[in-house]
């Protein structure tokens, strides 16, 4: 016992006060744990949703979640809002460990005032954002909210604004993930929109600026909430969602998996996982994958899965702009990002949506020290007035900007077609690729052989007795003379023409050699990407 300190029982009135305080603590703790109460929890479960604490329990390693701000409540001066009706302010916040690494998180609880955001609700989220930024740890938001709390008016709006500012300050410093597990409407959608990845739960997760009723009143369009802002709408139409899950549990497992590829912050290297897949593994099937006919499609996912560690590829935004594939994977246990044209869709052309998809992903990879592997098979940009009027020049320039700006290791493999501006855009040596390989089937030129022949030999074709036969002769001649990888290799734009089956070991070796790559750039506040 410490000298000079009397035992609690010996203090005058000490034991009675302690028991009273303990009873108060237990009552408040029970209220916090009950959140909205048994009936509302039952309704949450009936809707197929977990409660906030159940979600956090599933997200974090067992027994590691430490709650902060459990006893925070609204101020008592908002009309029509009693503090006792909002235990924990409708949001559970804290930190814990995921696969042994510290992660900060908040989970909105729809059983308490519909998970609505008020002044103190926002303050709890802001504290988590500040702590995560100071600690250099990822932030995960589990969103399930009816939006701004009407009773708190401008105080609630101010809370959103401060959250948006923290999202922006944390961007590129720590990974930010949002899991949309319930409604998210109005201004509430912009915090997810500012984060790096959005995972949505099909059937329960919804996001929209204006809901179905407002749209019907203003425009006369009839649409339900799921069609307007559900997971599939945002995965396939808007491109806002990055991953979709069938349930809360699956979404939380996806969140854990996604974090496994990412460093805790921009100053750390990505985490290395154990891999039993040999780096020198060759895939003979790749030697026969690309068809001889340049217009015949094949599935680039077969190439990706053959090159990266087995079962390590996590495709991002599958279902949106499917003429381009992006995703996270590992080679030798080390994470990297993969970008690939998909010949099965629109012949692998680049269009507006694919350009946005590519540019944002490459900028994320660069921010968090993840190398970029680019697999090229594209005939160019998608032609048409819709693309031109929609600003394909501006959107395509984002791709150029993202690749040229990136300082992480960049390895490019040209599988087949690489024509014109699209050849340049897909991480060519000109944009700063550290290593460029080509398969023997690669064709590099200003345009495809058919188009080039029609221009170069226009007069001869017009005067020929058999123009089709002459055209085919000239196409083959052009393909042999110009549209092959050896011309570019002779100029040093390609480092090696490699056997397709050897792609994995060649890529693995160059990535290992580039692991400690450093690149200095001119100092500036920031560039002006063509948004």
Active site residues: 186-187, 421-422
CB atoms near residue 516 (< 10 Å): 8
Angstrom CA distances, 332 to 284, 364, 369, 414, 439, stand at: 19, 21, 16, 22, 22
Give the orientation angle of helix 300-307 with respect to helix 503-513, to 10 degrees. 60
Angle at 345 between CA 340 and CA 347, to 5 degrees: 80
Sequence-distant (6+) residues with CB within 8 A of 274 are 333
Handedness of CA 291, 295, 296, 302 (dihedral sign): positive
DSSP summary character for residue 332: T
d(C-alpha 240, C-alpha 116), whole Å? 22
Summary count for the chain: helices (H), strands (E): 20, 17
Q: How far is CA 376 from CA 398, 414, 416, 422, 492, in A?
A: 17, 5, 7, 9, 18
Q: Of 271, 264, 258, 272, which is closest to residue 173 (Cα–Cα)?
A: 264
Q: Are 366 and 397 in contact (CB under 8 A)?
A: no
Structure tokens given for 197: 């990845």
Q: How far apart are CA 197 and CA 154, in angstroms?
A: 28
In 258-297, which positions are buried (b, 16+ CB within 10 angstroms) versus exposed (e)? Answer: bbbbbbbbeeeebbeeeeebebeebbeebeebbeeebeee
DSSP collapsed to 3 states, 31-91: HHHHCCCHHHHHHHHHCCCCCHHHHHHHHCCCCCCEEECCCCCCCCCCCCCCHHHCHHHHE
Tell me how far apart the alpha carbons of residues 445 and 422 are, in angstroms, rounded to a whole number.
10
Taking the CA of residue 143 as centre, how many other CA atoms within 13 Å lie in the half-sphere pointing to its CB?
30
Q: Which stretch of DSSP H or E encloses residue 314?
A: strand 314-316
């Amino acid at each position: 016992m410490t000298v000079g300190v009397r035992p609690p029982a010996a203090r005058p009135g000490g034991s009675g006060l302690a028991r009273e305080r303990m009873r108060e603590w237990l009552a408040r703790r029970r209220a916090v744990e009950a959140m909205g109460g048994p009936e509302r929890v039952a309704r949450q479960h009936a809707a197929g949703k977990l409660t906030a604490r159940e979600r956090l329990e599933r997200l974090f390693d067992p027994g590691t979640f430490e709650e902060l701000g459990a006893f925070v409540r609204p101020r008592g001066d908002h009309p029509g809002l009693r503090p006792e009706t909002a235990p924990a302010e409708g949001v559970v916040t804290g930190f814990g460990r995921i696969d042994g690494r510290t992660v900060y998180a908040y989970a909105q609880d729809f059983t308490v005032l519909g998970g609505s955001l008020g002044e103190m609700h926002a303050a709890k989220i802001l504290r988590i954002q500040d702590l995560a930024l100071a600690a250099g740890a990822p932030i995960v938001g589990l969103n399930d909210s009816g939006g701004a709390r009407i009773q708190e008016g401008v105080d609630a709006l101010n809370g959103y604004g401060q959250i948006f500012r923290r999202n922006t300050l944390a961007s590129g410093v720590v990974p930010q993930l949002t899991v949309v597990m319930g409604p998210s409407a109005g201004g509430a959608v912009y915090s997810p929109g500012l984060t790096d990845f959005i995972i949505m739960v099909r059937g329960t997760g919804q996001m929209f600026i204006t809901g179905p009723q407002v749209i019907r009143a203003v425009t006369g369009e009839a649409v339900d909430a799921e069609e307007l802002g559900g997971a599939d709408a945002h995965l396939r139409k808007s491109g806002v969602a990055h991953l979709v899950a069938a349930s809360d549990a699956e979404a939380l497992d996806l969140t854990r998996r996604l974090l496994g590829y990412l460093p805790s912050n921009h100053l750390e290297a990505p985490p290395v996982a154990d891999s039993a897949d040999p780096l020198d593994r060759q895939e003979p099937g790749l030697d026969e994958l690309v068809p001889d006919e340049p217009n015949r499609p094949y599935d680039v996912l077969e190439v990706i899965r053959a090159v990266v560690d087995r079962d390590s590829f996590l495709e991002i935004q599958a279902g949106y702009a499917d003429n381009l594939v992006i995703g996270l994977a590992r080679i030798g246990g080390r994470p990297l990002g993969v970008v690939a044209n998909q010949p099965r869709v629109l012949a692998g052309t680049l269009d507006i949506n694919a350009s946005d998809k590519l540019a944002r992903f490459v900028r994320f990879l660069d921010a968090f020290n993840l190398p970029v592997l680019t697999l090229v098979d594209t005939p160019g940009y998608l032609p048409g007035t819709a693309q031109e009027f929609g600003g394909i020049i501006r959107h395509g320039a984002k791709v150029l900007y993202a690749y040229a700006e990136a300082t992480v290791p960049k390895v490019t493999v040209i599988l087949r077609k690489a024509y014109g501006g699209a050849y340049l855009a897909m991480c060519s040596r000109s944009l700063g690729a550290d290593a460029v390989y080509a398969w023997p089937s690669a064709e590099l030129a200003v345009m495809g052989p058919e188009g080039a022949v029609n221009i170069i030999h226009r007069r001869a074709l017009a005067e020929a007795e058999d123009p089709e036969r002459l055209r085919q002769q000239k196409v083959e001649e052009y393909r042999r003379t110009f549209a092959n990888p050896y011309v570019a290799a002779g100029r040093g734009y390609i480092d090696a023409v490699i056997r397709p089956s050897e792609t994995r070991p060649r890529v693995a070796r160059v990535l290992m050699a580039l692991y400690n790559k450093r690149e200095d750039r001119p100092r500036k506040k920031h560039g002006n990407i063509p948004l």
